[in-house]
Amino acid sequence: MTNNNVIIQTHQLTKQYGQSLALVHVDLTIPKGSIYGLVGNNGAGKTTFLKIVLGQIYPTSGSFTLWEAGDEASYRKNRRRCGAIIEAPGFYPKMTAAQNLEYYRIQRGIPGREKVGEMLELVGLADAAKKKFGQMSLGMKQRLGLALALLGEPELLLLDEPINGLDPAGIIEIRGLLLRLNREKHMTILISSHILSELENMATDYGFLSRGKVVQQISAQRLHELCGTYLEIRVTEPERYAALLEKQLHRTDYKVLADGRIRIPGQAEDAAVCSRLAAEQNIGLLAMEHRQMQLEDYYMHLVAEQRGGEQ
């Protein structure tokens, strides 16, 4: 991947608060034109990462580039090409949706009064233009925050938990909007979330964080391949059975779990072959299940492996 195809790239990015590490030697690459899902539990470091990119806080050590630039003057220039929702946007409760957006349009020097109406229409708030912010539901406030983030027609959109408070219909609408912005305007979108299922219908790439560390970066295509169907087998001699998988069936894609279970990618029809192998070698077959791994299960497995490696 050449630098021309990268929007954000970090090198050993670290943020420390007192004795607490929020980010630990983070290396991430956000490709241009991607919808990048930054996934992690609460406290994993997602918001800290976004705030560093936006210049709201500074890293303790390490570095990053934003459109290839890595100096403070270039950061300030390139951040004008970004739109963002980080935590709760600062709207005035007694001002209407339209008045709030107009205030920020003027403050940021964005030309064209018509932009306010266009953005409200875009996020489905055209009918709420005259509604005061303090009287809005949480979902409507989220939409207004997105309208603000889009006000300057950014090339990079950074969203921190953007669909919190939305009902299922609202989630579908916002997902459709983000996909359209990515497809039609070639906007790169970085979305943080602690719920993988929110991202799986739109993300093209993922970065998994846990306790401030990068657990894995992976494309959506590769992730779905890894989260396919598999057989989970319990036998009386797991180590010998694993060796036979390689020798007799030429399978090297299996995994022996900590409790002795053996996980093999495959369909239901592979069960007969695996069962016959155990019988022919006089290995007791205790259990066999055909399963489909969910994306959340995959992430939790990664986190468990990381924590095990830290012990």
- Domains of the chain as residue ranges with CATH: 3-218 (3.40.50.300), 229-292 (3.30.70)
**Stretch (H or E) spanning 34:** none
- Per-residue pLDDT at 281: 95
**Stretch (H or E) spanning 124:** none
The span from the CA of 95 to the CA of 90, in Å, is 12
The span from the CA of 259 to the CA of 295, in Å, is 21
The span from the CA of 262 to the CA of 126, in Å, is 55
Q: Where are the beta strands (DSSP E) in 5-73?
A: 6-17, 20-26, 29-31, 35-39, 61-66
Per-residue pLDDT 10s for the chain (311 aa) are 446 799 999 999 999 999 999 999 999 999 999 999 999 988 899 999 999 999 999 999 999 999 988 888 999 999 999 999 987 778 999 999 999 999 999 999 999 999 999 999 999 899 999 999 999 988 888 889 999 999 999 999 999 988 777 788 888 888 888 999 999 989 999 999 887 877 888 999 999 999 999 999 999 988 887 777 889 999 999 999 999 999 999 999 888 988 999 988 877 678 899 999 999 999 999 999 988 777 887 888 788 877 766 65
Which two structure tokens, joined as six digits, stand for 7? Answer: 């929007």
Nearest to 218 by CA among 36, 1, 66: 36
Rounded to an integer, what is the distance from CA 306 to the centroid of its chain?
18
Indicate the DSSP class of residue 81.
T
Phi-psi region of 232 (alpha: psi -120 to 50; beta: other; left: phi over 0): beta
216-248 exposure pattern, b = at least 16 Cβ within 10 A, e = fewer: bebebeebeeebeebbebbbeebeebbebbeee
Cα distances (angstroms) measured from residue 25 to each of 10, 57, 62? 9, 16, 7
Q: State phi, psi for 107 to the nearest 5 degrees.
A: -60, -40
Which residues lie below 8 Å from residue 111, measured CB to CB, with a gap of 6+?
Answer: none
Q: Are residues 194 and 41 in contact, defined by beta-carbon separation less than 8 angstroms? A: yes
Which two structure tokens, joined as six digits, stand for 186? Answer: 């070639």
- Per-residue pLDDT at 142: 86
- Per-residue pLDDT at 311: 55
The span from the CA of 19 to the CA of 12, in Å, is 18
Indicate the DSSP class of residue 96.
B
Cα distances (angstroms) measured from residue 264 to each of 20, 226, 288? 39, 11, 11
Burial of 184 (0-12, 13-18, 19+ CB in 10 A): exposed
